[in-house]
Amino acid sequence: MLIGLLGFFTVMTFLAVVVGIVRGEPGATPSLVLLGLVVALALAVRARSRT
């Protein structure tokens, strides 16, 4: 369930970052949030594969 939730928010954040870049409004905050979500998702997947 955690992986699904993190995956959903990662995809939504990724789309928001891409739209911001296309519109010419790149921001550090959305990019850092995306980085954090990707790291959290990777850690969750890694923990799941270990069990």
Give the start-to-end residue ranges of the domains of the chain. Answer: 2-50
Residue 3 DSSP label: H
d(CA 23, CA 49): 38
Tell me the per-residue pLDDT of 1-51, one tens digit each, with 9 for 90 and over. Answer: 999 999 999 999 999 999 999 999 888 999 999 999 999 999 999 999 987
- pLDDT at residue 26, rounded to an integer: 82
- pLDDT at residue 17, rounded to an integer: 94
- pLDDT at residue 51, rounded to an integer: 79
Q: Are 37 and 9 in contact (CB under 8 A)?
A: yes
- pLDDT at residue 27, rounded to an integer: 84
